[in-house]
Amino acid sequence: MLEVDSIRKTYGNIVAADGVSFRAGAGETVGLLGPNGAGKTTMVSIVAGLLRPDSGQVLIGGRPLGGDTDPAKRNIGLVPQNIGLYGQLSARENLALFGALYGLGGAQRKRAIDDALRLVGLSDRGKDAVKTFSGGMMRRLNLAAALLHDPQMLLLDEPTVGVDPQSRNAIFDNLETLKKRGKTLLYTTHYMEEAERLCDRLVIIDRGKVVADDTLSGLHRLMPVTNLLIVDLDNARDGFPAAELRSLPEVQSVEIRDKELKIGLRDLSSESPRVLQWLVDRGWKFQHVSSERASLETVFLTLTGRSLRD
């Protein structure tokens, strides 16, 4: 369905995309993952035809994406990161306009508007001005506006930014419905849990380069650790000797945020007592200890040396 081939894009001296290649098959959900400024939005803009790459090409259904009026753009529905709606117009008026841009008219457009509003759960707010909507409702309508012309592929550029958990779940439900309908989704995010829930395959980008491109299970195999020991330190302060802890042979990774210390271990049962004793011996106090399986966050940390939320 979508093939991105060796895309390079620069803004002056800044390289936003450096030979980026990936594919998304029909009905597949591909996550484009990376921290802020990694080049995700640039890639979405190039795939949507908003930006012209310095080199490389984008193929839709095996054909290179042409100019502004290329009919192949009808196969794409863009959900931009910023809300792409007119606040003064009603939800229906917005959808009518965006439907008209793709040649929808009359009963066909009305049906498409009804379907889109129903999918995102806004049927009863269709006549209300968008500026009266909550942030979550706007996000849902932002998604609906990309569906009117029934595109085969949806480009979703961080569609859950700034929404409450309830609205986020509603958007996930909508996307899962679309996935079941066989749509191809290209989903950019820096929330690893979103990617883990939705995506069949993940393309991890950092500083304009693809650092990993694999299925979820394939990426899990890249993990150096499978378990995390989480210690809530009572007396956390600046200068925690993370490097010293990391030098222990059983410790695979160390991450500390505020009072929360995450230690990557291969075998919790044999290695955690020794690590906890090491902390006690150096005067670190704690009342609560827990553990969890390592996530893709750890993969990203391993691959790039920095956190997704940096």
Partner 1 sequence: MTSIFRALVRKDLRLFFSDRRSVIMAFVAPIVIASFFGYIFGGNGGQTEASRVAVLAVDQDASVTSREIVANMTADKALAVQPAGLEEARAAVRKGKAIVAFVIPAAFGADAGRALFDAVSKPVIGLLYDPSHAAEMGMVQGMLSGHVMEAVSKEMFTGQTDRQAVKDSLAQIEQSAMAPADKKSLETMLRGIDGWNARRDSGAASGNATAPQGLTIPFQVHSEAITSGIGVQYNGYAHSFGGMGIQFILFVGIDVGMGLLAMRQSGVWQRLRAAPLSRGTLLGSRAVSAAMTSMLVLMVLFAFARVVFGCRIEGSMVGFLCICAAFSLMTAAFGLLIAALGKTPEATRGLSILVTLLMVMLGGAWVPTFIFPQWLQKLTIAIPTRWAMDGLDAMTWRGLGFSSAIGPIAVLVGFTLVFGVLAVMRFRWEADS
Please tell me whether residue 89 binds partner 1 under the rule CB under 8 A: yes
Q: Which residue, 98 or 187, has its beta carbon nearer to partner 1? A: 98
Please tell me whether residue 4 binds partner 1 under the rule CB under 8 A: no
As to burial, measured by CB atoms within 10 angstroms (0-12 exposed, 13-18 middle, 19+ buried), residue 156 is: buried
Site string for partner 1, 244-263 (x = CB under 8 A): --------------------
CB atoms under 10 Å from CB of 276, counted, come to 16
**Alpha-carbon gap, residue 145 to 141, rounded angstroms:** 6
Residues touching partner 1: how many (CB under 8 A)? 37
Chain positions 45 to 74 lying near partner 1, rule: CB under 8 A, are 45, 48-52, 68-71, 73-74
Site string for partner 1, 134-173 (x = CB under 8 A): --------x--xx---------------------------
Please tell me whether residue 37 binds partner 1 under the rule CB under 8 A: no
**Alpha-carbon gap, residue 33 to 197, rounded angstroms:** 13
- CA angle (182, 111, 28) in 5-degree steps: 10
- In the list 19, 23, 92, 97, the residue contacting partner 1 (rule: CB under 8 A) is 97
DSSP state letter for 207 = T
**Alpha-carbon gap, residue 246 to 240, rounded angstroms:** 11
Tell me how far CA of residue 122 lies from CA of 61, 119, 168, in angstroms: 32, 8, 15
| Minimum gap (Å) between residue 179 Cβ and partner 1 | 21
Stretch that binds partner 1, among 94-102, 167-175, 208-216, 221-229 (CB under 8 A): 94-102
Please choose, from the candidates 198, 77, 101, 83, the residue with its C-alpha nearest in 3D space to the C-alpha of residue 137. 83
- Residues making contact with partner 1 (CB under 8 A): 41-42, 45, 48-52, 68-71, 73-74, 76, 78, 80-86, 88-89, 93, 96-98, 100-103, 105, 142, 145-146
